[in-house]
Structure 1
Amino acid sequence: MMLSTWASLLVCLTVVAAVEDTVRESDVQHVVSHLRSLMPLYETAPERFRRQVQSENETTENQPPLPPPPPSHMHFKVNKCCKKMPKIMNMKTVRECFKSIRPAQPPGGPGGPPPPPGGPPPPPPATDMPEDEESVDNGSTDVEAVEDADGQNAATSEQLRHIPGGKSCKGGRHPGAHRNIMACATQCAFEKESLIQDGTVDQEAFAAYVDKYVEEKNAFTWKDALDAALQNCSASVPASVNQQQNCTSGAMEMLHCMDRQIFVNCPESNWKSNDEKCEACRAAQENCGYKRGPHKRV
């Protein structure tokens, strides 16, 4: 009796083991079979990709090479074209006037102090810049100009963004508070030099101021360029003043115009000839009327 019981248990264990082995083998076979079914995808995809790349390369090789991109006239120093341009106005005075006129920033910067924890975010800071970026690129007229490290003035220290062949020469003037501040800062500097009379630039006093500059700086190489600039700007500046500004003496416009005309009439001895960028830059200043290159903020 006991022997038959042990025999029955042994048979049961053998059956269970056989079933388990069968299941495991079945699972393994299923997985292996599935992996084998996927192998063609892994084997053929790289080959298909290689054939595609090879085909594209052969097509490119049979085509003529692409022409080189057109030369860029953006982001180069204007004083690389016209060397040692005269610095008529003491830009340190303009900078001091700007700092005295510019309103103080509120605590925390233009956006105000940070909001309390858990509170709503502060509104975005107000901007006086035009919404249309093209107006900034094509007609920046803020005097915003101060001398850079090498002592060059605004026209020679800034990078020109657009010249003919790119965007049009339509002018766009900053209508915001920054322009007003700079107009008043430049007027302040002119007043300190006694160059303002009856609310406008005294043309005779300014001409004498330029002649004095030539004598003191021994800048006789620039005499013809300065005379041409004075003649042009004396006639064109009064009509170019934006009467919506807070300060309408024309000091800022005169400084812009002088910078532009000095550059246009740069003596050949100071001009970098046979340079496409420089020639295009000068053509932009000649053809765009009341226009200056972009500036850096004070």
Structure 2
Amino acid sequence: MVKNMSLDGKNSYLVVCKVSQIIFNDMKLVKDNTVDKDAFLKMVDKYVTKDVEFWKQPLKDAFDHCQKGLMSDLTKVTDFFSKAPFNIKKEDCDAQYVALFTCIHLDSFANCPTAAWKPTNEKACSSMKTWFGKCGTDFSGIKKIIGGAN
């Protein structure tokens, strides 16, 4: 699990938050200070190539799941990430981006298609997939995975 290590005296979670915010903005996925669903879906269609096309639907489904679940109450997101171990203050970074980025990553992994699993790693991958699938639909899963808290 990732611990809150310092990067030149900076909160590493804050750095990840800022990187997430920059990624969404630089990819032109932000509209009215939130990630635009249509822009995200178009980005997935454009950049997920034929050789890994089986990832398209899990990524789209993950966006829907995360937007309806975690992102439905941005005040809750901001409040959650403002506390330990994250300590990301609203004035320093908009935590909605790191929350959405993390949620999409975990949700798409937990629901990834069978074609993505290599036969040599199937047992290890399946156990990780099951574990991620049990993370829950709230912030406790994120805190447990990246915060090291129980």
Bin for the TM-score computed over the shorter chain = 0.5 to 0.7
Distance 1:249 1:179, change over 3 A: closer
1:178 has 2:8 as partner: no
Deviations 1:91-130 (A, max 9, x none): xxxxxxxxxxxxxxxxxxxxxxxxxxxxxxxxxxxxxxxx
Whole-Å separation in 2 of the counterparts to 1:281 and 1:195: 29
Partner of 2:77: 241
Contact residue 200 and residue 248 of structure 1 kept, 8 A? no
Match of 2:7 in 1: none
From the CA coordinates, give the structure whose radius of gyration is larger. Answer: 1
Instruction: Name the residue aligned to 1:279.
Output: 126
Match of 1:224 among 41, 57, 63: 57
1:255 is displaced (CA, Å) by 1.5
Asked if 1:256 corresponds to 2:111, the answer is no
- Describe the shift of the 1:202–1:141 C-alpha distance in structure 2 as closer, same or farther (beyond 3 A): farther
Q: Partners in 2 of 1:222 and 1:141 — Cα distance? A: 29
Q: Distance in 2 between matches of 1:220 and 1:234?
A: 22
The within-5 A match list for 1:118-267 is: 137=1, 140=2, 177-214=11-48, 217-218=49-50, 219-238=52-71, 239=73, 241-243=77-79, 244=82, 245=88, 246-248=92-94, 250-267=96-113
Q: TM-score, normalised on structure 1? A: 0.35
Gap runs ≥5 in structure 1? 1-136, 143-175
RMSD: 2.9
Secondary structure of 1:247 counterpart: coil
Q: Kindly tell me the number of residue pairs found equivalent between the two proteins.
A: 121
More helix by share: 2
**Greater RCO structure (CA 8 Å; 6+ sep):** 2
Q: Percent of aligned positions with the same letter in both sequences?
A: 26
Q: Per the alignment, do residues 227 and 264 of structure 1 end up closer, same or farther by CA in structure 2, a change over 3 Å counting? A: same
**Structure 1 residue 227, shift from structure 2 partner:** 2.5
Aligned CA distance change for structure 1 residues 281 and 235 (closer, same or farther; 3 Å): same
Assess if the C-alpha contact under 8 Å between 2:70 and 2:99 holds in 1: yes
Q: Which runs of 5+ in 2 are unaligned?
A: 5-9, 83-87
- What is the CA–CA distance in structure 2 between the aligned matches of 1:286 and 1:208, rounded to whole Å? 26
